Amino acid sequence: MADVVRPQRAATVGCGVIGAAWASRLVLSGVDVAISDPSPEAESIMRDVLANAVRAWDDLGLRTDQRGEWRIASSIADAVADAEFVQESVPERPDLKRAVYAEIEQALPSDALLASSTSGIKPTELQAELAHPERFVVGHPYNPVYLLPVVEVVGGEATASETIERAKAIYQSIGMHPVHVRVEIEAFIGDRLLEAVWREALWLVNDGVATTQEIDDVMTYGFGLRWAQMGLFETYRVAGGTGGFRHFIEQFGPALEWPWTKLMDTPPFTPELVDKIVEQSDEQSGHLDVRELERIRDRNVVGFLKVLEENKWAAGSAVAAQRERQG
């Protein structure tokens, strides 16, 4: 059933950390992938990320013997010429993305779908100059893309509703959990939340209230363990007890009126602030190689996903569905 929508051939344009992780998820899901990226490092990035992805899927107990083929294409046209589905992950510059789309459209089959990994630019803005804007959609993932199931699907003003449905089906066919963001806003859902935390955290560091390590500790030893399984609202529902969410709001809502956060703006990125963050981050994790941190992250996420699958809960269900799909 899933195979009806799962593409046989896809292209990924841009092969940084995100693009390579998309390509890895597609390849492990049995899709042939042509990769386009002008960087000479693209192939080695792809090899590294795919190796991580294979290890993670192995640890998760998913099959890795049904892989599609992958290759580095000689050009964008070469990559997309026979693709049914294109996922673009080039840097977050609207002008660059639009120039890339112009190249893609010259070679892309008319019935193929074109998706962007942008984490915040409105699809209406990105599709403005397309000859076929109706088949353009945003599919915003979270890294590591080969493990985290969520993808935000956002259409622009010119996106066809069938494009949304088809994108959701394609993402599901490669083990993901699409969330359709029905109202087009910049930064969508997740990055709005992330940015709110980021700004507040910058103030805490800027004002000397906490170090990067202390902020991370409060998250990882505390509420982070809640958010890997229940989000904000479900957690607070439980906190409200048997009275449901109304009780929670009655109990805690008024505290929102207190001047507790400093949300008005962002501290300017002065050299002093940048130095402070860089030094604190080095102090915190500088002794660990980034590749080693990635492996630790993946081992932890794999472990969490197994727990959630065993407990038949949220993100675990995406893994269970993928396992069933693999047969």
Residue list 94-153, contact with a second copy (CB under 8 A): 120, 142-143, 147-150, 152
The reply on whether position 39 binds a second copy by CB under 8 A is no
Q: How far apart are CA 197 and CA 187, in angstroms?
A: 14
136-141 sheet: strands from edge to edge: 70-72, 32-36, 9-13, 85-88, 113-116, 136-141, 150-154, 177-180
Least Cα distance to 69 among 46, 37, 103, 87 occurs for: 46
Q: Which of 66, 106, 224, 272 binds a second copy (CB under 8 A)?
A: 224
User: Whole-angstrom Cα distance, residue 253 to residue 88?
Assistant: 41
Residue 243: beta bridge partners? none
Which among 296, 251, 217 is positioned nearest to 55, based on CA atoms? 296
CB closer to a second copy, 63 vs 226: 226
Q: Cβ 162 to a second copy, closest distance in Å?
A: 21
According to CB under 8 A, which one of 65, 260, 324, 327 is a site residue for a second copy? Answer: 260
* Least separation in angstroms between CB 108 and a second copy: 28
Q: Would you call 151 helix, strand, or coil by DSSP?
A: strand
Distances (CA, A) of 4 to 7, 54, 300: 8, 25, 33
* Interface pick for a second copy out of 177, 320, 321, 323 (rule CB under 8 A): 177
> Which residue in 96, 241, 270, 272 binds a second copy (CB under 8 A)?
241
Residues in region 189-208 near a second copy by CB under 8 A: 189-201, 204, 207-208
Closer Cβ to a second copy, 105 or 309, answer by number: 309
SS3 130: coil
Q: Which stretch binds a second copy (CB under 8 A): 71-79, 96-104, 156-164, 312-320?
A: 312-320
The residue from 43, 107, 128, 281 that contacts a second copy (CB under 8 A) is 281
Residue among 165 and 217 whose Cβ is closer to a second copy = 217
Q: Which stretch binds a second copy (CB under 8 A): 6-14, 50-58, 96-104, 306-314?
A: 306-314
C-beta closer to a second copy: residue 68 or 190: 190
Closer residue to a second copy (CB): 98 or 199: 199
Which two three-digit tokens encode residue 34? 């042509």
| Number of residues forming the site for a second copy (CB under 8 A) | 112
At how many degrees (to 10) do helices 190-206 and 271-285 cross?
100
Neighbour tally for 199: CB within 10 Å? 17
CB-wise, 132 or 247, nearer to a second copy?
Answer: 247
Give CA separation, 224 vs 155, 231, 238, in Å.
Answer: 30, 10, 16
55 binds a second copy (CB under 8 A): no
Smaller CB separation from a second copy, 12 or 119: 119
Choice from 54, 72, 164, 307 touching a second copy (CB under 8 A): 307
Q: How many CA atoms lie within 13 A of 42 on its CB side?
A: 21
Stretch near a second copy under the rule CB under 8 A, chosen from 107-115, 131-139, 167-175, 247-255: 247-255
Q: Which is nearer to a second copy, 73 or 203 (CB)?
A: 203
Distance CA 203, CA 273 (A): 10
